[in-house]
Amino acid sequence: MKPNIILAIESSCDETSAAVVQNTDDGVKILSNIIASSADLQAKYGGVVPEQAARAQLESIIPVIQESLDQAKISKEDIDAIAVTQGPGLIGSLLIGVESAKVLATVWDKPLVPVNHLIGHFYANWIVTGRPEDQNSQESENTPKFPCIGLLVSGGHTDLVLFESHGEYKYLGGTRDDAAGEAFDKTARLLGLPYPGGPVISKLAEKGNPKAYHLPRPMIDSGDLDFSFSGLKTAVFNLISELGSEKLTEKTIADLCASIEEAIVDILVRKTVRASQRYNIEQIIVAGGVAANRKLTEELTKTVQTKTPRARIFIPPPRLCTDNAAYIGAAAFYNYYPEDSLKIQANPNLSLSKNDS
């Protein structure tokens, strides 16, 4: 029997999240979506420290799950299944979510669905929020149709895939070194800005000139659908060394942020449009923390409208782009394959490319 209500758990990196989601004819509805993150610790140490993240998650997992049930106003009897992020991610963090889900599934006697976090990100596009500001189009169809090109841009991954249907996809390309989010985070660190770098760079970029510094766009003209961002990081490092710390004024930092953001966005837009044109596909779905970037959203929409006017782009609202359990639950509805609860193991090495069909 297909589930109607799923309790989902996500703990792959720094966030501890639990959500209750409901399947409807129009898409997945969020009944609750609780996210706890150790943002203070990240800011202090300039990133996620795995042991600290796991320790904080161990403390927050049960209260977060309880709050998700309370906020959704449901009890354990109402839950049809449990979904959990199996990987990829930090092993200590994954274990906390996976082992908690296994215990609950066993004690409550519920089916347990393991979800690949990377696939999960894409399912933020199948969530209907009902909020006017979240409507990504004026058209009546609210969820993507197949086939579609998927661009995943997160802190650890940058991948392009072609979805034929739910769970069936072809890997088209990905980063050969740093991920797009990592490029934001690492260049922010070079500029002395706090973690996570993406939102900070994006905010400062609003006051900067994106043409002030010409930064490289590695592999932008390579015929393939792969990415590379480490050269950009090196170029920013060299530029900062040349300028010297006394020249790093507020204005210079804003200009550098705008130039970095534009370089990253240019690369992502070019390769995504290329993928959609090469495979003649008119639906594009974007996912991952970097999809919360407004410039990326605007540039991708503008370019696609010019180059392939019939194409339709789906980008989740920013709060559903970054890690949260709601999309893990959504993914489980459309890929409902419960496994033996006691046998599911956290797998930090899951990827998208291994399902190469």
Select from 108, 15, 29 the least CA-distant residue to 57.
15
Q: Is 316 in the site for ligand KG4 (CB under 6 A)?
A: no
Q: Is 323 in the site for Zn ion (CB under 5 A)?
A: yes
| Euclidean distance between CA atoms 219 and 155, whole angstroms | 20
Closer Cβ to ligand KG4, 27 or 288, answer by number: 288
- Residue 43 beta carbon to ligand KG4: minimum distance, rounded to whole angstroms: 13
Residue recorded with tokens 């720094």: 14
Q: Is 185 in the site for Zn ion (CB under 5 A)?
A: no
Q: Is 11 in the site for ligand KG4 (CB under 6 A)?
A: no
The distance in angstroms from the start CA to the end CA of the chain is 28
**Partner from Zn ion, ligand KG4, none contacting 152, C-beta within 5 to 8 A by type:** none
Q: Facing residues of 8 across strands?
A: 19, 83
Amino acid at 56: A
Q: Is 150 in the site for ligand KG4 (CB under 6 A)?
A: no
Member of 144, 155, 210, 329 binding ligand KG4 (CB under 6 A)? 155
Q: Is 154 in the site for Zn ion (CB under 5 A)?
A: yes
- Residues in 71-90 that interact with ligand KG4 by CB under 6 A: none
Contact criterion met (CB below 8 Å) for 163 and 146: yes
Residue 55 half-sphere exposure toward CB, CA atoms < 13 A: 6
CA 230 to chain centre: 20
**Partner from Zn ion, ligand KG4, none contacting 65, C-beta within 5 to 8 A by type:** none
Burial class (CB in 10 A: 0-12, 13-18, 19+), 57: buried
Interface size with ligand KG4, residues (CB under 6 A) = 19
Stretch touching ligand KG4 by CB under 6 A, among 106-114, 179-187, 231-239, 331-339: 179-187
CA 225 to chain centre: 19
Member of 159, 178, 185, 266 binding ligand KG4 (CB under 6 A)? 185
* Long-range interactions of 246-250: CB distance < 8 A, separation 24+: 248/191, 248/192
Q: Is 202 in the site for ligand KG4 (CB under 6 A)?
A: yes
Q: Is 178 in the site for Zn ion (CB under 5 A)?
A: no
Select from 5, 67, 58, 78 the least CA-distant residue to 35.
67
Q: Is 196 in the site for ligand KG4 (CB under 6 A)?
A: yes
- Residue 326 beta carbon to ligand KG4: minimum distance, rounded to whole angstroms: 13
**Interface with Zn ion by CB under 5 A: which residues?**
154, 323
**Interface with ligand KG4 by CB under 6 A: which residues?**
13, 154-156, 181, 184-185, 196-199, 202, 288-290, 292-293, 322-323
